[in-house]
Amino acid sequence: MCLFFANNGNAQDYNSAIGLRLGYPLSLTYKTFISDDSAIEVFGGLRGYSSYSWVNVGGAYQVHKPIEGVDGLNWYFGGGASVFFWTYKNSFTGDGSASTTFGILGNLGLDYKFADSPINLSADWMPIFFIGNGFGSGFGGGYGALAVRYTLN
């Protein structure tokens, strides 16, 4: 197992990329590699409902590993943090409130760069442990997205 994680192969086929995370929540994303197999992804998202909504900003450190036999395909893992700004409006009384929560997140996904195109796709899962009280607290295991990005080499 240690030898697998110590793989020093070139894991990425692009330097940085910008695009959209199409998921929960809808977000703008920017990913840049800081070494051959390590990347930083920052994102900002918005999710709205009839009675409550939130805006979040966060980032994650990711370690990318190639999947042998498929050029341009990598799997990655990592972690990071996020901050959520919640608003809630009671539809019966019209009263509203707001809160802020912080999240510690994990990151596990697949990343693919098309060989003859500046397009990068990734699909991931981001479980979050919310810190604070209010609308977001405890464990949130359902966060993830399909990201579509334009690569900047």
Q: Pick from 94, 125, 95, 91: which is nearest to 110 by CA?
A: 125
Residue pLDDT, tens place only, 27-56: 999 999 999 999 999 999 998 776 778 899
Return the CA Rg of the chain. Answer: 17
4, 66 contact by CB (below 8 A): no
**Domain extent for 25:** 2-152
Under-70 pLDDT residues of the chain: 1-12, 50, 90-95, 133-137
pTM for the predicted model, two decimal places: 0.83
**Residue 13: per-residue pLDDT:** 80
Residue 7: its pLDDT value, please?
Answer: 42
What pLDDT is recorded for position 12? 64
Give the total number of structural domains in the chain: 1
Task: In whole angstroms, give the CA distance from residue 147 to residue 19.
Answer: 7
Q: What is the CATH number of the domain that holds 39?
A: 2.40.160.20
